[in-house]
Amino acid sequence: MGLYPRNFNEYIASLGIPRHEDSQVYLVDVDNGVAGRNGKTLETTLDSVEEAYGLCTTDQHDVVLMISSDSGNNLAAAIDWSKDFTHLVGLSSNLNGVGQRCRIVGVAAADVVYTVDFSGKGCIVRNIKFCNESDADVDSGGVIVSGGRNEFTNCAFEGMVHATPAARANGYSLKLTGEENEFNRCSIGVDTIVRAADNAELWVSTGAVRNAFIKCRFLSASETTTKFLVWVENTDRWLEFEDCVFYNFSTNWANNLADAFRISCATTHHVILRGKNILVGVDGWADVLTHLYSAEPVPAGGFGIGTNPTG
């Protein structure tokens, strides 16, 4: 079979991705593909995710397969992934977000505000890194998920990968406005570009209800102690984190973040911490503790049993 399987429909089915009688698989190889091909075999690969996505049909469980390589898929413009039940899978190792070699990149010259907006529903996305290197002095981020009921596994969401947007208050790596999405073994943020403003790696905004993050990393590098890793605003219902790491790097142990979460919801909203969540380089959990719930026992700093942290 060589490096990659010859029957990609069987391969997709083995991943548990639903199939339709008309489902198609389109292959992308940014190093060796050629625009204008049909993208259906290893001999006829396309050279961009954008072209492969353009061939997909909504509600048909079509799949874009991206072959890992030394090169990223450099965007000329942001992608609106609006077709329901249309999937994106990287043919790479199952790395936990950081280090993925299937990459969709907003290069500095393109100055995209975000790389992809997943506005469709029921999409499955696996083994992909999204990286926005825009250097424009505007609010920008990595990925927007405005659709609902999507699954992301082993993905990296990296926004503000340049000092200029990283110094803006409304920058983000992942902005979430859709409902009932799940993120598994993903990385949100970067710890290599200094954040010089009170921005957030995950921005949860209006409409983002009943979303879950499982075994995910939230990463930043900041000396701005009032920066947050997660900002929850203008939403209700619940947001769940299970076995997640909230990490901030500062030089020479200089400045921890004061809190991992900023919570500014006018309506009832519950942030649920399940399993073993941990803070590294962060002193406290949230600026508004009454919205935060955990079943963890009380450590030295006081966490609260079953209800709310005390500090």
User: For 192-212, how does the pLDDT look when each residue is reduced to its tens digit (9 = 90+)?
Assistant: 999 999 999 999 999 999 999
CB atoms within 10 A of CB 290: 11
Residue 305 banded pLDDT, cuts 50, 70, 90: very low
Q: Which tokens sit at 288?
A: 């508004």
User: Is the pTM here over 0.85, yes or no?
Assistant: yes
For 149: left if phi > 0, alpha if psi spans -120 to 50, otherwise beta; the answer is: left
- What CATH architecture does domain 78-84+91-294 belong to? 3 Solenoid (2.160)
H or E, element range at 12: helix 8-14
Question: Mind listing the pLDDT tens digit for each residue in 205-249?
Answer: 999 999 999 999 999 999 998 999 999 998 889 999 999 999 999
The average pLDDT across 251-261 equals 88
CA angle centred on 186, ends 48 and 170, rounded to 5°? 85
Which part of the chain has CATH 2.160.20? 78-84+91-294
Distance CA 163, CA 165 (A): 6
